[in-house]
């Protein structure tokens, strides 16, 4: 049985931290499905197709990674994909409470699906999609934190 993990998120946009988690996750899993939640209630900067495009571009050199979208419960989607795990990155203490809640709820809903956390690489400890968007919006340089294609699109989006 191949070991399949879902790496879910908003990826609005993908950051170097996400890429690091996907690369390291591939050492643990045979196949990773990077899945964007379709969430009409949450306003995003990039459309779903833009986000998929950026993910594909920036993870092109990682083999056995595919890209998808999902709605509804993550554990249902995981089961549908025959995935046995959910992969999440964990940064500083601030991520812990939310991630803990999410993992426990997912475990309650489907016991078979385990959540695996990888601690973020030290370089990416302060990297988050939200803070990157905030900096880029006001002309801040985020070159070191995102793939080149994302940097370019952020500049276009914010007219910089
Ligand atoms: O990148 P994000 O926004 O932190 O990702 C959050 C995500 C998509 C992993 C989470 O919101 C999610 O899985 N949503 C789907 C609905 C669900 O199953 N929620 C958890 C149990 S209530």
Quick: pLDDT tens for 56-84.
999 999 999 999 999 999 999 999 999 99
- Ligand 1: centre distance to CA 106 (Å): 10
Global confidence as pTM: 0.97
**What DSSP character marks residue 121?**
P
Residue whose CB lies within 8 A of the most ligand 1 atoms, among 5, 6, 10, for a mutation test: 10
Query: Residues 109-160: pLDDT tens digits?
Result: 999 999 999 999 999 998 999 999 999 999 999 999 999 999 999 999 999 8
> Distance between CA atoms of 146 and 128, rounded to whole angstroms?
10
> Distance between CA atoms of 6 and 22, rounded to whole angstroms?
10
> Distance between CA atoms of 73 and 61, rounded to whole angstroms?
30
CB 19 within 8 A of CB 65: no
Pocket of ligand 1 (CB under 6 A): 8-10, 37, 73-74, 102, 105-106
Return the ligand 1 atom nearest residue 88 CA: 9
């Amino acid at each position: 049985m191949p070991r399949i993990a879902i790496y879910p998120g908003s990826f609005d946009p993908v950051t170097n931290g996400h890429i690091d988690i996907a690369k390291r996750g591939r050492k643990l899993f045979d196949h990773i499905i990077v899945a964007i939640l379709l969430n009409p209630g949450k306003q995003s900067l990039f459309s779903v197709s833009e986000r998929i495009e950026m993910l594909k571009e920036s993870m092109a050199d990682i083999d056995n990674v595919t890209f998808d979208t999902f709605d509804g419960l993550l554990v249902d989607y995981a089961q549908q994909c025959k995935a046995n795990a959910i992969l999440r990155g964990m940064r500083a203490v601030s991520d812990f409470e939310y991630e803990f809640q999410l993992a426990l709820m997912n475990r309650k809903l489907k016991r078979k699906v385990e959540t695996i956390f990888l601690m973020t690489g030290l370089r990416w400890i302060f990297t988050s999609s939200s803070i990157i968007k905030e900096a880029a919006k006001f002309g801040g340089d985020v070159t070191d934190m995102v793939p080149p294609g994302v940097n370019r699109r952020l500049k276009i989006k914010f007219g910089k």
